């Protein structure tokens, strides 16, 4: 294997040289710098002491947790043997320490304890029951096959971070796959990304509920064709019941109008879901991430703070109005987004841009008033 050195945050890591990232024997995706930036900031602002990056590839994520946060114990794992060897090499370079090697495990006992294993993620997590304050699942595709063990490996008041890159499935391009993996009916069209994110969070909520665990969403977002959620667990049957109450269904009409209902069962046909209909962010947490981002050595210093600012400013209500889709659906001209937002604010409503789409807005105005604002600006 030939390698090149890349810098990301405080880490300097070797990654395989390859024409295309999916051809590389060990996976490294520079587009995910923003994902790793936000995750590293999250581990930092939450004051996490123990963390597992269960699917590590080059190890960049776990190494950044070790270098850029206060975590005292960091566990990295990958089933692929090439990945394991590369992670060990990358940890050595970044910590200037030598590991104790036993079979398919390497333990570094420097300023912090770093463990690297070459095993199935489910086995590693199962062997570490209720151990980690922060469990990170960053797989290829869907995280669902790792979810049960992750919920058993994380502490009962810990944080679970999940990435899903199976956007086609969650956005309704493969409806049957969405039913199989997430037991949910996906939405197609302009709302598919927010609906996909809400299906993902809803699935985690249902899995957590069987362990009598409730969930608070610290932050859930969509970006660069993946979904990411940071979920704080809460221990107790009542907390699980309260969380489950925030699941529900949505409906959408031809003209683009949507409705949703926080109800355990769909009340009428044509329903999409179940979906998480609670908040997608904890404002204080996002504010803390933003402050930390402004004082950090980031992997993507241009995009990460800007994205966090957009998230911080976004109105947190279910679903949005995409001006292009509404214009198309209703035979109107597309107006300027900022002017429509202004118009809605003048009408006394709250309205903001949304990270889900550059042509959409979130508002507490009813659909009819959004349409009035659109028509007003024809």
Ligand X SMILES: C[S@@+](CC[C@H](N)C(=O)[O-])C[C@H]1O[C@@H](n2cnc3c(N)ncnc32)[C@H](O)[C@@H]1O
Q: Tell me which of 14, 67, 121, 220 binds ligand X, using CB under 6 A.
A: 121
By beta-carbon proximity to ligand X, the closer residue of 143 and 202 is: 143
Q: Tell me which of 15, 27, 217, 230 binds ligand X, using CB under 6 A.
A: 27
Write down the least CB distance from residue 27 to ligand X, Å: 4
Say whether residue 260 binds ligand X (CB under 6 A).
no
Question: In terms of DSSP H, where are the helices of the chain?
Answer: 33-45, 60-68, 81-95, 121-126, 144-153, 167-170, 175-182, 192-209, 237-244, 283-294, 303-313, 323-330, 337-346, 367-376
DSSP state string for 2-22? -EEEEEETTEEEEEE--SSGG
Write down the least CB distance from residue 156 to ligand X, Å: 24
Write down the least CB distance from residue 298 to ligand X, Å: 15
Say whether residue 139 binds ligand X (CB under 6 A).
yes
Say whether residue 32 binds ligand X (CB under 6 A).
yes
Say whether residue 140 binds ligand X (CB under 6 A).
yes
Say whether residue 275 binds ligand X (CB under 6 A).
no
Residue 319, SS3? Answer: coil
Are 109 and 97 spatial neighbours (Cβ–Cβ below 8 Å)? Answer: yes
Write down the least CB distance from residue 12 to ligand X, Å: 15
At 353, phi and psi to the nearest 5?
A: -70, 170
Strand partners, 264: none
By beta-carbon proximity to ligand X, the closer residue of 22 and 295 is: 22
Characterize the bridge pairing of strands 226-235 and 247-252. Answer: unpaired
Q: Quick one: which segment of 50-58, 189-197, 233-241, 246-254 binds ligand X (CB under 6 A)?
A: 50-58
Q: Quick one: which segment of 98-106, 137-145, 169-177, 239-247 binds ligand X (CB under 6 A)?
A: 137-145
By beta-carbon proximity to ligand X, the closer residue of 57 and 271 is: 57
Say whether residue 182 binds ligand X (CB under 6 A).
no
Tokens standing for 260? 């949703």
User: How far is it, in rounded angstroms, from Cα 47 to Cα 71?
Assistant: 8
Say whether residue 127 binds ligand X (CB under 6 A).
no
By beta-carbon proximity to ligand X, the closer residue of 38 and 213 is: 38
Contacts of 196 (CB under 8 A, 6+ apart): 167, 170, 171, 172, 186, 187, 222, 227
User: How far is it, in rounded angstroms, from Cα 332 to Cα 371?
Assistant: 10
HEC letters along 93-150: HHHCCCCEEECCEEEEECCCEEEEECCCHHHHHHCCCCCEEEEEECCCCCCHHHHHHH
Are 161 and 228 spatial neighbours (Cβ–Cβ below 8 Å)? Answer: yes
Say whether residue 357 binds ligand X (CB under 6 A).
no
By beta-carbon proximity to ligand X, the closer residue of 28 and 249 is: 28
Write down the least CB distance from residue 4 to ligand X, Å: 15
Write down the least CB distance from residue 33 to ligand X, Å: 9
User: How far is it, in rounded angstroms, from Cα 54 to Cα 132?
Assistant: 11
Say whether residue 223 binds ligand X (CB under 6 A).
no
Say whether residue 299 binds ligand X (CB under 6 A).
no
The site that binds ligand X (CB under 6 A) totals a number of residues, namely: 21
What is the separation, in whole angstroms, between the first and last Cα of the chain?
A: 59
Write down the least CB distance from residue 226 to ligand X, Å: 10
By beta-carbon proximity to ligand X, the closer residue of 36 and 206 is: 36
In 3D, which of 94, 106, 83 has the Cα closest to residue 28?
Answer: 83
By beta-carbon proximity to ligand X, the closer residue of 81 and 364 is: 81
Name which of residues 54 to 83 contact ligand X (CB under 6 A).
Answer: 55-58, 60-61, 77-80, 83
Say whether residue 1 binds ligand X (CB under 6 A).
no
339 phi-psi bin (left φ>0, alpha ψ -120 to 50, beta other): alpha
Q: Name the site residues for ligand X (rule: CB under 6 A).
A: 27-28, 32, 36, 53, 55-58, 60-61, 77-80, 83, 120-121, 138-140
């Amino acid at each position: 294997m030939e390698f090149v050195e890349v810098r990301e945050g405080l880490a300097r890591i070797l990654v395989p040289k390859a024409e295309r990232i999916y051809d590389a024997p060990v996976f490294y995706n520079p587009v995910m710098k923003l994902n790793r930036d936000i995750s590293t900031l999250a581990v930092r602002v939450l004051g996490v002491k123990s963390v597992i990056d269960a699917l590590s590839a080059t190890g960049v994520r776990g190494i950044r947790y070790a270098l850029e946060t206060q975590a005292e114990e960091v566990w990295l794992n990958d089933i692929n043997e090439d990945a394991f060897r590369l992670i060990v090499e990358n940890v050595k370079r970044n910590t200037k320490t030598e590991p104790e090697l036993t079979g398919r495990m390497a333990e570094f006992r420097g300023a912090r304890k770093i463990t690297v294993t070459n095993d199935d993620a489910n086995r590693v997590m199962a062997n570490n029951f209720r151990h980690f304050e922060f469990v990170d699942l960053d797989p290829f595709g869907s995280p669902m096959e790792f979810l049960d063990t992750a919920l058993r490996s994380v502490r009962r008041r810990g944080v679970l971070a999940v990435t899903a890159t199976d956007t086609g499935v969650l956005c309704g391009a493969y409806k049957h796959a969405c039913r199989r993996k997430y037991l949910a009916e996906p939405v197609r069209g302009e709302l598919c990304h927010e609906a996909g994110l809400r299906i993902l969070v809803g699935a985690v909520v249902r899995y957590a509920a069987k362990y009598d665990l409730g969930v608070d969403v610290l932050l859930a977002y969509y970006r660069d064709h993946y979904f990411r959620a940071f979920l704080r667990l809460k221990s107790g049957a009542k907390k699980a019941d309260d969380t489950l109450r925030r699941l529900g269904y949505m409906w959408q009409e031809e003209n683009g109008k949507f409705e949703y209902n926080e109800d355990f069962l769909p009340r009428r046909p044509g329903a999409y879901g179940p979906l998480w209909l609670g908040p997608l962010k904890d404002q204080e947490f996002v504010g803390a991430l933003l402050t930390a981002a402004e004082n950090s050595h980031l992997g993507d210093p241009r995009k990460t703070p800007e994205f966090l600012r957009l998230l911080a400013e976004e109105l947190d209500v279910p679903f949005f109005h995409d001006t292009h889709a509404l214009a198309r659906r209703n035979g109107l001209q597309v107006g300027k987004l900022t002017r429509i937002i202004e118009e809605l604010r003048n009408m006394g409503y709250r309205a903001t841009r949304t990270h889900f789409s550059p042509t959409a807005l979130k508002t507490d105005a009813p659909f009819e008033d959004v349409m009035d604002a659109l028509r007003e600006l024809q």
